[in-house]
Amino acid sequence: MIAFNKKKKVAFICSYLPRKCGIATFTSDLINNIKLAGSGEFEPQVFAMQPQAELEYDEPVKFKIRKDVKRDYLLAADYINFSDIEAVSVQHEFGLFGGRGGSYINTLLKSVYKPVITTLHTVLEKPSEEYFDSLRDVCDASDKIIVMNKRGIRMLQHVYGVPKSKINLIPHGIPDLPFVESISYKRKLGMAGRKTILTFGLLSKNKGIEIMLRALPRIVKEEPSILYVILGATHPEVLRCEGQSYKLKLERIVRDLGLQRNVVFHNRFVSNEKLFQFLGAADIYVTPYLHREQLTSGTLAFAVGTGKAVVSTPYWAAQELLSHGRGKLVRFGDFEQTARTIVEILGNNSLFSGMKRRAYQYGRSITWPKIGQIYFELFRRYMPSMRIPLRESLDLSDREGLAYSRQMQYQKAL
């Protein structure tokens, strides 16, 4: 192995703070922990995907890519090729990138000479043709593909035809926090004496919070002290397209059900420090999401890792994270089962304590320092290699053959 005797530069193509989205937070945590693992031998170079609203960035952002400006992707590739950057890390989510099915990112990837390691935050099981083509091209242009759970590996193999040897499983990282009782955190947040249920994350219709609200009357009947905390601002893209209609709908349900004393909205994007306080104060964490097609969930991983008793609908990420008694799954849209399950947990101290203990013990294997070390070692292995860009290595007949192969693979997946 080549000695790591100087700072190694990695280009991260991603959304980034202060942008308010889960991938921006994920990438910030990832970079901080790779730097920790590298002990001064690692230097990130962030290529930030710019939303419609112009943002100002601090270090380590070096370059901004406007989502729908194809030329920006080519300029970013040139910047990478003619710099001392040694590898590229893509944080892939279809909605981050412009073009058909987010295909503009492939304009960049097919033009860079450096090794590419791509982390997939979404994998579609039944993609439309444009999303299928786009993701297959991302996988072809990448030297390694990272997914965050086992189902992602199976889907890449069976739907997209990606060889297993090209795929790495690296779970979503979580904060390394102590296992503590909630009393002190409740005092700090003005919740002393209340049993608390928490949901956090950017608000949008697919979160299913209305299901949890409809479950609350039965829960309150059994435990009148219940306080349900909904932590998080409306997703910026939802806010731009729909305004606060979803939040206003939730507030209307609270009024109609007479739950004003039992529900509190913290309508803001909070720092990690404040988030950890709310997690510390929570007795039960709930994700009542409406659709199963969600392969990763940073919010759920955080809740499991901090030792919360978790109740969730069985979307893909939850099925894996909450297995082996680490949480309870309830049917999509079933507020009555949700209520019964939460009442059962609150009334059974042995069940409550066991869920928390198992969740926290599992979380010790996926703390951010450990995940940062895994990524650091992966970058080390791939940095020395160089490659010929795809657009220059294929002649016309090769490109036509590749297009035909994609079409056949798509039809087979259907």
Residue 2 within any structural domain of the chain: no
Strand partners, 116: 88
Task: State the total domains in the chain.
Answer: 2
- Asked whether residue 299 falls in the same domain as residue 214, the answer is yes
Residue 1 within any structural domain of the chain: no
| Residue 288 CA, distance from chain mean position | 17
222: domain range? 183-366
Residue 292 within any structural domain of the chain: yes
In sequence order, the 6+-apart residues with CB closer than 8 A to the CB of 396 are none
Structure tokens, 402: 């590749």
Residue 3 within any structural domain of the chain: no
Token pair 């190694």: residue: 8
- Asked whether residue 32 falls in the same domain as residue 111, the answer is yes
Task: Please give the angle made by the CA atoms of 196, 199 and 203, to the nearest 5 degrees.
Answer: 145
- Asked whether residue 88 falls in the same domain as residue 197, the answer is no
- Asked whether residue 117 falls in the same domain as residue 144, the answer is yes
User: The whole model's pTM is what?
Assistant: 0.85
In sequence order, the 6+-apart residues with CB closer than 8 A to the CB of 156 are 120, 123, 139, 145, 147, 162, 167
In sequence order, the 6+-apart residues with CB closer than 8 A to the CB of 270 are 200, 231, 232, 278
Task: Spell out the per-residue pLDDT of the chain, length 414, in tens.
Answer: 444 457 889 999 999 999 988 899 999 999 999 999 998 889 999 999 998 778 889 999 999 999 999 999 999 999 999 999 999 999 999 999 999 999 999 999 999 999 999 999 999 999 999 999 999 999 999 999 999 999 999 999 999 999 999 999 999 999 888 887 888 899 999 999 999 999 998 888 889 999 999 999 999 999 999 999 999 887 777 667 777 888 899 999 999 999 999 999 998 877 778 888 999 999 999 999 999 999 989 889 999 999 999 999 999 999 999 999 999 999 999 999 999 999 999 999 999 999 999 999 999 999 999 999 999 999 988 876 555 555 444 444 444 454 445 445 544 554
The CATH number given to whatever domain includes residue 321 is 3.40.50.2000
136, 160 contact by CB (below 8 A): yes
- Asked whether residue 388 falls in the same domain as residue 313, the answer is no
- Asked whether residue 51 falls in the same domain as residue 187, the answer is no
Decide: helix, strand or coil at residue 253: helix
C-alpha dist (Å) from residue 92 to 193, 202, 335:
43, 19, 33
What DSSP assignment string belongs to 65-86? EETT-HHHHHHHHHHHHTSS--
Q: Which long-range contacts (CB under 8 A, 24 or more apart) does 370-374 make?
A: 370/173, 371/30, 371/33, 371/170, 371/171, 371/172, 371/173, 372/30, 372/32, 372/33, 372/34, 372/35, 372/36, 372/37, 372/173, 373/33, 373/37, 374/170
